[in-house]
Amino acid sequence: MVTFFHLRNGGRAQVPPGGPAPGDIGFVVARHPVERAVSAFHTAYSRAVGRTNSTNTQCPYRKFPYLQANISDSDGLSSAVALLGERGAELADASCGYAYHHMLSQAFFLWRERVRLLYSRSPPKGQLLARDDQLPSPVSVVLRLESLAEDLLALCAARNATAYCQKRIEQLGGIKSLNPSHKARLTDAAIRAAQRYYAPDFGCLGYGMAPEEGK
C-alpha cells in the first residue's frame, strides 16, 4: 500500500529482488469502459485542437479522423473505435500527445506479456525479457473509479492497513468524486460500437452492460 500512494502518472512499481513477497497482490484502478472511452476521446481531442493544421507537427493527424474539428462525441468515439479495430496498438505513441494511446482497451495494459515488456531492458544487442520474478504480482483485485473510496478502503482493510490508508488519503486531500457520465451524449449506435470493441474490458474488469445497452 505504501507503493500505491507513491505512484504518479503511470509510474512503475519497483519489484523487490527475488520477486513479489508471499502474500503480495496486484490490483488495478478501472473505469466503466464506455465512459472511459468518451473521457479519453475528450483528452485526445483537447490535446489536438488548434494543431490539426500545423505544418510543423510530427503527428499524422490524417490517421486520427476523430480529432477533426467540431466532431461530436458519438462520431468521434465511433471513428476512434473503428480505427482501433483496424490498427490495434500500432499507432500508440507520443507523436500526437498520445491521442490514440488514451483510447486503448484497459485490458491491453493488463496483458501479462505487455507488463513483461514494460519491465524488460533493451541493451544494444536486443531486448532482455524480464523473468516472472522480476514482475509485479498479477492483478487479482479491481478498484473502480465509480466507488474508489469504498473499494480502496476495503482493500486496505483486507491488508490490515486501514489506519495508514486513511491517514494518507487525508494527507492527499481526499478522493475526489468521478466526473458525471458522458454516455447521455452518445447515440445508441456509438455505444454499441464501443461495447463491441471494449468487450474484453467488460469481461476482464467485471463491468456489466445494461440490457438496453447490450442490444
The band of 212, judged by pLDDT with boundaries at 50, 70 and 90, is: very low
Quote the radius of gyration of the chain (alpha carbons, Å): 19
- Map residue 111 onto helix, strand or coil: coil
Residue 70 and residue 88: Cα distance in Å, rounded? 25
pLDDT of residue 191: 92
Report residue 34's pLDDT band, with 50, 70 and 90 as the boundaries: very high
- pLDDT greater than 50 at residue 215: no
SS3 at position 140: strand
Helix (H), strand (E), coil (C) string for 2-71 = CCHHHCCCCCCCCCCCCCCCCCCCEEEEECCHHHHHHHHHHHHHHHHCCCCCCCCCCCCHHHCHHHCCCC
